Amino acid sequence: MILSLPFFRAVVAAPRLTCPLLVQVMDHDDLTPPGPAAALAAAAPHGKLLAYPGGHWDPYVGEGFDQLVPDQIAFLKRTLGAPAAR
Protein backbone atom coordinates (compact mmCIF):
# COMPACT_ATOMS: atom_id res chain seq x y z
CA MET A 1 0.00 0.00 0.00
CA ILE A 2 2.61 2.56 1.03
CA LEU A 3 4.69 1.75 -2.05
CA SER A 4 1.80 2.71 -4.33
CA LEU A 5 1.38 6.15 -2.73
CA PRO A 6 3.73 7.98 -5.13
CA PHE A 7 1.58 6.76 -8.04
CA PHE A 8 -1.78 7.90 -6.59
CA ARG A 9 -3.35 10.80 -8.48
CA ALA A 10 -6.31 12.32 -6.68
CA VAL A 11 -7.59 13.97 -9.85
CA VAL A 12 -8.16 10.51 -11.35
CA ALA A 13 -10.29 9.46 -8.36
CA ALA A 14 -12.11 12.81 -8.08
CA PRO A 15 -14.93 12.02 -10.54
CA ARG A 16 -16.02 9.17 -8.25
CA LEU A 17 -16.37 11.38 -5.17
CA THR A 18 -19.92 11.56 -3.93
CA CYS A 19 -19.32 13.97 -1.06
CA PRO A 20 -18.93 17.75 -1.26
CA LEU A 21 -15.32 18.85 -1.61
CA LEU A 22 -13.89 22.24 -0.66
CA VAL A 23 -10.52 23.07 -2.17
CA GLN A 24 -8.81 26.27 -1.06
CA VAL A 25 -5.68 27.47 -2.84
CA MET A 26 -3.37 30.42 -2.61
CA ASP A 27 -2.75 32.10 -5.98
CA HIS A 28 0.96 32.58 -5.39
CA ASP A 29 1.79 29.33 -3.59
CA ASP A 30 5.28 28.30 -4.64
CA LEU A 31 5.42 25.13 -2.52
CA THR A 32 2.07 23.63 -3.50
CA PRO A 33 1.11 25.12 -6.88
CA PRO A 34 -2.65 25.77 -7.16
CA GLY A 35 -3.06 24.19 -10.61
CA PRO A 36 -3.35 20.53 -9.55
CA ALA A 37 -5.72 21.41 -6.71
CA ALA A 38 -7.88 23.45 -9.10
CA ALA A 39 -8.01 20.48 -11.48
CA LEU A 40 -9.08 18.25 -8.59
CA ALA A 41 -11.93 20.59 -7.65
CA ALA A 42 -13.04 20.79 -11.29
CA ALA A 43 -13.01 17.01 -11.67
CA ALA A 44 -15.06 16.34 -8.53
CA PRO A 45 -18.85 16.36 -9.13
CA HIS A 46 -19.44 18.44 -6.00
CA GLY A 47 -16.10 20.24 -5.92
CA LYS A 48 -15.84 23.89 -4.97
CA LEU A 49 -12.66 25.87 -5.55
CA LEU A 50 -11.86 29.03 -3.62
CA ALA A 51 -8.70 30.95 -4.50
CA TYR A 52 -7.08 33.61 -2.36
CA PRO A 53 -4.25 36.07 -2.92
CA GLY A 54 -1.05 35.14 -1.15
CA GLY A 55 1.56 32.47 -0.73
CA HIS A 56 1.81 29.06 0.87
CA TRP A 57 2.12 30.17 4.49
CA ASP A 58 -0.42 33.01 4.45
CA PRO A 59 -3.47 30.93 5.53
CA TYR A 60 -1.89 29.94 8.82
CA VAL A 61 -1.86 33.33 10.56
CA GLY A 62 -3.19 36.84 10.26
CA GLU A 63 -5.23 38.09 7.32
CA GLY A 64 -4.93 34.86 5.31
CA PHE A 65 -6.29 32.84 8.22
CA ASP A 66 -9.08 35.36 8.69
CA GLN A 67 -10.07 34.92 5.02
CA LEU A 68 -10.02 31.14 4.78
CA VAL A 69 -11.59 30.04 8.06
CA PRO A 70 -14.98 31.79 7.57
CA ASP A 71 -15.23 30.14 4.15
CA GLN A 72 -14.50 26.75 5.73
CA ILE A 73 -17.14 27.31 8.39
CA ALA A 74 -19.71 28.39 5.79
CA PHE A 75 -18.92 25.29 3.70
CA LEU A 76 -19.36 23.03 6.73
CA LYS A 77 -22.64 24.70 7.70
CA ARG A 78 -24.00 24.30 4.15
CA THR A 79 -22.75 20.73 3.88
CA LEU A 80 -23.57 19.41 7.33
CA GLY A 81 -26.45 21.70 8.13
CA ALA A 82 -26.53 24.21 10.95
CA PRO A 83 -27.40 22.75 14.36
CA ALA A 84 -31.01 23.12 15.44
CA ALA A 85 -31.76 25.85 17.95
CA ARG A 86 -32.43 24.59 21.47
3 state SS of 7: helix
Cα(12)–Cα(17) distance, integer angstroms: 10
Tens digits of residue pLDDT in 9-68: 778 888 998 999 999 999 999 999 999 999 999 999 999 999 999 999 999 999 999 999
The answer to whether residues 47 and 16 touch, using CB atoms and an 8 Å cutoff, is no
76 pLDDT more than 90: yes
pTM of the entire structure?
0.82
pLDDT at 13: 83
3 state SS of 57: coil
Cα(3)–Cα(72) distance, integer angstroms: 32
pLDDT at 9: 79
The answer to whether residues 27 and 51 touch, using CB atoms and an 8 Å cutoff, is yes
